[in-house]
Amino acid sequence: SAVISQKPSRDICQRGTSLTIQCQVDSQVTMMFWYRQQPGQSLTLIATANQGSEATYESGFVIDKFPISRPNLTFSTLTVSNMSPEDSSIYLCSARGPGNTDTQYFGPGTRLTVL
């Protein structure tokens, strides 16, 4: 299994600012993803973080708002840009792997509050 850590675990930010969330996996994985969980809701996929190329975004999410990097097979970042109170959510990183497994593991999440 993969062990995933995220930093920060929580943050309170002002409207209009940006926050970068880091995701570290303890082993090389084939695929990494970013999800959002709004208060009291289920998880929604933001994008697939592609190693060495631009992320693949789901409908309703754009690169200007949620730029993502994945410089190698164990690390990814998600930036929430120009934040508004509607961005207050839990942001979760996940990874499929290591190896040829379909099991997807999740990080502990980053709880973001925007004032």
Nearer to other proteins, 76 or 94 (CB): 94
Q: Does residue 24 belong to the site contacting other proteins (CB under 8 A)?
A: no
Cα gap 110→12, rounded to integer Å:
11
Question: Which residue bears the tokens 């693949």?
Answer: 56
User: How crowded is the C-beta side of 3, counted as CA atoms within 13 Å?
Assistant: 1
By CB under 8 A, how many residues form the interface with other proteins? 27
CB 112 within 8 A of CB 91: yes
Sign of the CA dihedral running 102, 105, 111, 112: negative
Q: Which of residues 55-114 bind other proteins (CB under 8 A)?
A: 58, 90, 92, 94, 96, 100, 102-109, 111
Contacting range for other proteins; rule: CB under 8 A; set: 12-20, 42-50, 65-73, 80-88: 42-50
**Contact residues for other proteins (CB under 8 A)?**
1, 4, 30-31, 33, 37, 41-45, 48, 58, 90, 92, 94, 96, 100, 102-109, 111
